[in-house]
Chains A and B, each alone.
Chain A
Amino acid sequence: MKKLMATVLSGLLAAPFMASGCGGTTYAPVSGKVTYNDAPLAGAQVLFQPVGGQGGVAAGVGSFAKTDSEGRFKLEASTATPTAGAVPGRHQVRIALPPAKGTIGQQDSDAANAGGKPITQATNPVPAEYNEKSTLTFDVPPGGTQSADFSLKGPPLPKGK
Chain B
Amino acid sequence: MDKNNIININDLEAPLFIAWQINAECNLGCLHCCEEAGHSMPDKLSRDETFKVLEQIVALKIPYVAFSGGEPLLHPYIFEMCEFLRKNSIDLKIETNGEYIDEKKAERFASLNLRSVQISLDGATSVAHEKLRLGGNWNKATNACKLLKSKGVNTEIVFVPTKFNIHEIGQIIDFAYSLGVYGIYTGKIMRIGRAAQNWDILCPSDEEYKEFFTTLNEKLKQYDGKMKVYFYPYDVLEELKYRRMSPAASLLVIPNGKVKLIGPLPFVCGNLKKQTLKQVWENYKISWQKPQVQEFIDRLIKEPKLLAESNKWVELFH
A in complex with B:
no
Residues of A within 8 A of B (CB): none
